[in-house]
């Protein structure tokens, strides 16, 4: 391949060009694989890979195929036979023995009532709609489960960071205890106590490492083993993607209730189909008869079903479908009440967790850290080690409680953030000071 460079032609082998392009592309892939996994990226990836979503999509596809055949006429019936065939005597079973013998072939078509065919179409369409809503419902559930797994891993890593931050102070305490022992102002008991405290801290970190491994395994279930599990920064858990007022207002559009409207439509369609069962079905047939040595015959017949005794058949079906419709309506109302209570509880928990996190960050964590540093400084100045041991226990407990509060805060946020489908959820709406 040649290029014009000024007045000179520069020819470069194609192989060198391909190698240069490959070298340019490789860093891009390396950078992509090293990109920290954000919460949004994890949920989007899980929505693409989750097998239960694909299974639900296939069920929806099956429902669409079923809807195509709903309300169609049944297959016609081909009939063939022979009438007035001699059965005894020397000419038994001889079709030409009697002029009345008739060989026939015919075609029969059953025609269900138009009301029944329309009702079948309505049931199929309602089933299609139900399966479509269930796809969205499953996708929301997968995203929420993935977000929960991401938050648990993030909170466990935050807990480890909180505990690791104490390593330096614990090492300093051991160093001071040993120095005071060598100087004759300390005791072996203080050295052992400081070492024991350091070992206990390391043991707590080991326990957190086990929690991190379990959380990573839970997240791998949704995003796969080939995804970098170095987490990006957490989203702003102090704001919801949807306002609390909208969450409390649009309950029926939320994941747990998303399919109830389609269920009610399906129940009504099945009731209409049961009512249409009292309409008679028609049938039309044509028969062509062949008589040997005689003129051929043509027959036309029309039939109609007679639902003369519906009390033990159609009426029972109608009553059952009425009961089904009422049961679904009552179950919908119960689910609506439960969802209203759950949303209110999650909003209250989320708001309470937000206040707790602020208290931990602005007050409790600085206080316990100052107390530990002051107690250690007092020990260095000749005081007792016991105040520092008590202070460090309180600081560890406070830091662990802070990490647990972070987990609860993030989990409450995920339960609220993934209630509505993406297309109906406005973004970046801040939480008011007081919930409505």
Using pLDDT thresholds of 50, 70 and 90, give the confidence band for residue 274: very high
**What residues have CB less than 8 Å from 260, skipping those under 6 apart?**
252, 328, 331, 332, 335, 336
Rounded to whole angstroms, how far apart are CA atoms 101 and 353? 93
- Position 355 scores a pLDDT of 95
CA torsion sign for 12, 16, 22, 23 is: negative
Q: Render 53-99 in DSSP notation, one character per residue.
A: HHHHHHHHHHHHHHHHHTTPPPPPEEEEEEES---SSTTTT-TTS-T
Using pLDDT thresholds of 50, 70 and 90, give the confidence band for residue 364: very high
Mean pLDDT of 190-201: 89
Which DSSP helix (H) or strand (E) runs through 9?
strand 8-11
Phi, psi of 420, deg, nearest 5: -105, 145
Give tens-digit pLDDT for 333-354.
999 999 999 999 999 999 999 9
- Position 28 scores a pLDDT of 36
Query: Above 70 in pLDDT, residue 391?
Result: yes
Give tens-digit pLDDT for 87-123.
877 777 787 777 778 888 999 999 999 999 999 999 9
Domains and CATH numbers, the chain: 37-430 (1.20.1600.10)
Query: Above 80 in pLDDT, residue 4?
Result: no
Phi, psi of 138, deg, nearest 5: -65, -40
What one-character DSSP code corresponds to residue 208? H
Contact 199, 403 (CB under 8 A): no
Q: Between these two residues, 191 and 363, which has the higher pLDDT value? A: 363
Query: Above 80 in pLDDT, residue 423?
Result: no
Minimum mean pLDDT among 175-189, 240-254, 333-347: which range?
175-189
- pLDDT > 90: percent of the chain: 61
Mean pLDDT of 251-258: 93
For 74, how many CA atoms within 13 A lie in the half-sphere containing its CB? 14
- Position 13 scores a pLDDT of 53
Give tens-digit pLDDT for 33-77.
568 999 999 999 999 999 999 999 999 999 999 999 999 999 999
- Position 383 scores a pLDDT of 84
Query: Above 70 in pLDDT, residue 6?
Result: no
Give tens-digit pLDDT for 130-171.
999 999 999 999 999 999 999 999 999 999 999 999 888 888
Among 397, 403, 435, smallest CA distance to 416 is for 435
Give tens-digit pLDDT for 394-416.
999 999 999 999 999 999 999 99
What is the value of pTM for the model shown?
0.79
Query: Above 90 in pLDDT, residue 300?
Result: yes
Using pLDDT thresholds of 50, 70 and 90, give the confidence band for residue 14: low
Using pLDDT thresholds of 50, 70 and 90, give the confidence band for residue 5: very low
């Amino acid at each position: 391949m040649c290029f014009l460079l000024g007045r000179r032609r520069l020819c470069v082998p194609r192989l060198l060009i391909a190698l240069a392009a490959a070298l340019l592309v490789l860093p891009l892939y390396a950078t992509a694989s090293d990109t920290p996994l954000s919460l949004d990226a994890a949920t989007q990836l899980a929505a693409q890979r989750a097998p239960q979503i694909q299974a639900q999509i296939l069920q929806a596809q099956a429902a669409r195929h079923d809807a195509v055949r709903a309300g169609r006429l049944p297959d016609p019936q081909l009939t063939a036979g022979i009438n007035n065939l001699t059965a005894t005597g020397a000419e038994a079973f001889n079709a030409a023995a009697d002029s009345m013998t008739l060989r026939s072939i015919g075609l029969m078509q059953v025609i269900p009532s138009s009301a029944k065919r329309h009702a079948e179409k309505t049931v199929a369409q309602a089933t299609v709609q139900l399966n479509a809503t269930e796809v969205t419902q499953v996708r929301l559930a997968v995203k929420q489960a993935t977000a929960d797994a991401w938050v648990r891993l993030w909170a466990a890593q935050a807990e480890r960071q909180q505990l690791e931050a104490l390593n330096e102070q614990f090492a300093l305490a051991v160093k001071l205890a040993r120095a005071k022992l060598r100087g004759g102002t300390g005791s072996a008991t203080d050295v052992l106590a400081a070492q024991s405290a350091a070992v206990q801290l390391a043991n707590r970190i080991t326990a957190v490492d086990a929690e991190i491994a379990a959380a990573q395994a839970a997240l791998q279930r949704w995003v796969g083993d080939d995804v970098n599990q170095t987490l990006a920064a957490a989203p702003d858990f102090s704001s919801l993607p949807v306002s609390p007022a909208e969450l409390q207002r649009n309950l029926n559009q939320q994941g747990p209730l998303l399919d109830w409207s389609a269920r009610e439509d399906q129940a009504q369609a099945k009731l209409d189909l049961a009512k249409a069962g009292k309409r008679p079905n028609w049938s039309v047939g044509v028969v062509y008869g062949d008589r040997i040595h005689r003129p051929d015959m043509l027959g036309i017949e029309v039939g109609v079903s007679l639902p003369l005794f519906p009390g033990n058949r159609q009426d029972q079906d109608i009553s059952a479908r009425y009961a089904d419709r009422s049961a679904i309506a009552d179950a919908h109302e119960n689910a609506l009440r439960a969802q209203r209570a759950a949303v209110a509880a999650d909003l209250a928990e989320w708001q309470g967790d937000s206040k707790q996190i602020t208290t931990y960050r602005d007050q409790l964590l600085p206080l316990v850290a100052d107390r530990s540093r002051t107690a250690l400084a007092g020990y260095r100045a000749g005081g007792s080690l016991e105040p520092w041991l008590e202070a460090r226990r309180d600081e560890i407990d406070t830091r662990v409680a802070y990490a647990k509060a972070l987990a609860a805060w993030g989990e409450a946020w995920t339960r609220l953030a993934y209630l509505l489908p993406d297309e109906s959820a406005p973004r970046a709406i801040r939480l008011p000071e007081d919930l409505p």
